[in-house]
Amino acid sequence: MAAHLSSGRVNLTALREAGRRELREFLDKCAGSKAIVWDEYLTGPFGLIAQYSLLKEHEVEKMFTLKPGRLPQADVKNIIFFVRPKLELMDIITDNVLREDRGRSPQRDFHILFVPRRSLLCEQWLKEQGVLGSFIHREQYSLDLIPFDGDLLSMESESAFKECYLESDQTSLYHAAKGLMTLQALYGTIPQIFGKGECARHVANMMIRMKREFPGSQNSIFPVFDTLLLLDRNVDLLTPLATQLTYEGLIDEIYGIQNTYVKLPPEKFAPKKQGDGGKDLPTEPKKLQLNSAEELYAEIRDKNFNAVGSVLSKKAKIISAAFEERHHAKTVGEIKQFVSQLPHMQAARSSLANHTSIAELIKDITTSEDFFDNLTVEQEFMSGIDTDKVNNYIEDCIAQKHPLIKILRLVCLQSVCNSGLKQKVLDHYKREILQTYGYEHVLTLNNLEKAGLLKPQTSGRNNYPTIRKTLRLWMDDVNEQNPNDISYVYSGYAPLSVRLAQLLARPGWRSIEEVLKMLPGPHFEERQQLPTGLQKKRQHGENRVTLVFFLGGVTYAEIAALRFLSQMEDGGTEYVIATTKLINGTSWIKSLMEKLEPAPF
């Protein structure tokens, strides 16, 4: 079930196991039968740690989603709330507890499990409502880094970027540091730490401090990771704004991948069995899990979308050839062998069917005129064309009232590619946006400005061309089918963040000092001492393992680019990726927008 976690260079099953263990411990504390009331946001991340079966073995009999009103009837001894420490959730819990029928017998015991941390604020809140005393156990479950795949960890902390850059709230960095300490407890102390950016500096400081404060964490595990690279998202604001062009990236851009699951329009997945003609077409979206446990997906996820079609058709040929084999099987032995292969072939067939359907869905969009126009403008900006004047396409999109997020992505992209917009250009865009979408969006524009995504060019100098040339961010001769450079993931643009990782491994950051100074925040290097017995003697030809931690989010295209580097024959480095949240341009901008609807409470 979790086999895909152990497929990579670092076996992440151990991390998952540790998480499961802690969950069991908590459940056993509340003796007797239980019902869990879920903060719905948590079910996705928890699903990656444990299945219902685990809970059931520990006497969890019912599960509900958290909502105001009276709790559903359930004949259990314990009611456990699994929640994030958020005040609005505390209000719902209070409501639930107050409406509990005091007269019922036997009475039900209440408990709270805060994920990832107990919050004094929330407890204070519950106290003020007069219900704090109703809870027997109030504990925390530090779900810091959740294993998503064999080489991917995420904290799934949606608002980390916003909190760090808009609200000066660095709690998520504290959690990141804690997650890294857990990781080191399991996989050994990471001897080398590199970083770029303000937040990276904070996390490194906290790690060093935590290590000092818990001498017990000095462990005797042979280090699995050689290097940790901490990268601030605001060092590279450009990459998430561009449309990702890998297969997985496009699925995320178009449909949004949540906790490795994607929901797709059902039409293309209708069962076409014979005799099923009378059945209605399914109306619920089709939900699929996407991870490297699926052989075909592991092969195509990181390819440029233009290279996916040929792989799928090749696979189709192979599978149909395999099924043809049956005609040639003459002896009983041959037939037996064929039959034994059937299950594998079936799995491959259904996987191929799914991905062919998904590819068709995506193709419909990527071949549309608007997708092409949008991409053309993005690529012009990234290659430095006409970034200093009002863009016609953007103006047209505003006039036609295209979704605001799309407009903001483009305008921000232009701003970042020009080290800020000329005041006149910026004012023009702002005016058009406010007049067309409503003045209240001045709040969102302000947030974007504060995050550095949309700003006036202050220095009067545009640094982007220098950065682009030095880091070779734009490649004209990109090979989408058989890539030789990471720029294939955006069909020409090489993600800045990944370039930094690549250059760090070889030849080292000293070669790009000048450019590093142009990017925001300090860059630094720290070493953590290892006991002599644990120092690595590298075998000849053995790859180094680097953990790249993106503070503020990472896109699937960046992950694809790092995987590409891992697989390069003479690369010498394999990468494991960690992040506060898996993002794309849309979800990212959305997290920075002011919520304009008043809260329901």
Partner 1 sequence: MSRARADEEEYWHSSKFRAFTFDDEDDELSQLKESKRAVNSLRDIVDDDDDDDLERVSWSGEPVGSISWSIKETASSSASSLEGRDSSLQKGSSSYAAFPKQVSSYSLSSLFKGRNKLPSFQSLSEALSDTGVKNYAPELRRPKADYKDYSSDWSPKDTVRRMQRGKVCSLERFRSLQDKLVLLDEAVAGHDGNVITAVLIFLKRTLRREILFRELEVRQVALCHLIHFLKETGEQKLLLDLLRLCFFSLSLQLSQYREHLNIQDVEKRREFLKGCIGLPFSAEDTSHIQDHYTLLERQIIIEANDRHLESAGQSEIFRKYPRKASILNMPLVTTLFYSCFYHYTEAEGTFSSPTNLKKTFKIPDKQYVLTALAARAKLRAWDDVDALFTTKNWLGYTKKKAPIGFHRVVEILQRNNAPVQVLQEYVRLVEDVETRLNLATKYKCHDVVIETYRDLKDRIQLTAYKCKVERGSAEEEKINSILNNMVRNTY
Torsion sign (Cα): 332, 336, 337, 341: positive
Beta bridge partners of 38: 65, 82
| 285 touching partner 1, by CB under 8 A | yes
Tell whether residue 136 is a contact of partner 1 (CB under 8 A).
no
Determine the Cα–Cα distance for residues 550 and 552; give it in Å rounded to an integer.
Answer: 6
Listed residue (477, 476, 468, 499) closest to 486, CA to CA: 499
Residues between 513 and 542 with contacts to partner 1, criterion CB under 8 A: none
Q: How far is the CB of 359 from partner 1 (least distance, A)?
A: 6
Contact segment (CB under 8 A) with partner 1 among 61-69, 466-474, 516-524, 561-569 equals: 61-69
| Contact call for residue 371 and partner 1 (CB under 8 A) | no
Residues from 445 through 464 that contact partner 1 (CB under 8 A) = 446, 450
152-160, 171-179, 510-518, 584-592 -> range binding partner 1 (CB under 8 A):
171-179
Helix (H) or strand (E) holding 559: helix 556-567
Given the rule CB under 8 A, which of 207-215, 413-421, 500-508, 519-527 is the region that contacts partner 1?
207-215
In 25-73, DSSP assigns E strands to 34-38, 60-65
Buried b (16+ CB within 10 A) or exposed e, 398-411: beeebebbbbbbbb
Residues 6+ apart with CB under 8 A from 585: 240, 241, 242, 243, 253, 409, 555
Residue 149 exposed, middle or buried by CB count within 10 Å (0-12, 13-18, 19+): buried
Q: Is 217 one of the binding residues for partner 1 (CB under 8 A)? A: yes
Q: Which of residues 84-113 bind partner 1 (CB under 8 A)?
A: 85, 87
Contact residue for partner 1 among 282, 508, 522, 572 (CB under 8 A): 282
Closest CB 572 distance from partner 1, rounded Å: 26
Secondary structure (DSSP) of 504-530: HHTT-GGGGHHHHHHSSS-EEEEE---
Work out which of 98, 221, 365, 385 binds partner 1, going by CB under 8 A. Answer: 221
One residue of 70, 317, 389, 517 binding partner 1 per CB under 8 A: 317
Strand partners, 257: 262
Backbone angles phi, psi at 285, to 5 degrees: -65, 150
399 binds partner 1 (CB under 8 A): yes
Of 142 and 379, nearer to partner 1 (C-beta) is 142
Tokens of 162: 């916003």
Q: Of 99-107, 283-291, 472-480, 585-593, which segment contacts partner 1 by CB under 8 A?
A: 283-291
* 212, 272, 510, 538: which one binds partner 1 (CB under 8 A): 272
Element (H, E) at 120: helix 120-128
> Interface with partner 1 includes 53 (CB under 8 A)?
yes
Per CB under 8 A, which region of 189-197, 219-227, 229-237, 585-593 contacts partner 1? 219-227
- CB of residue 517 to partner 1, shortest distance in Å: 25
Q: Which is nearer to partner 1, 17 or 226 (CB)?
A: 17
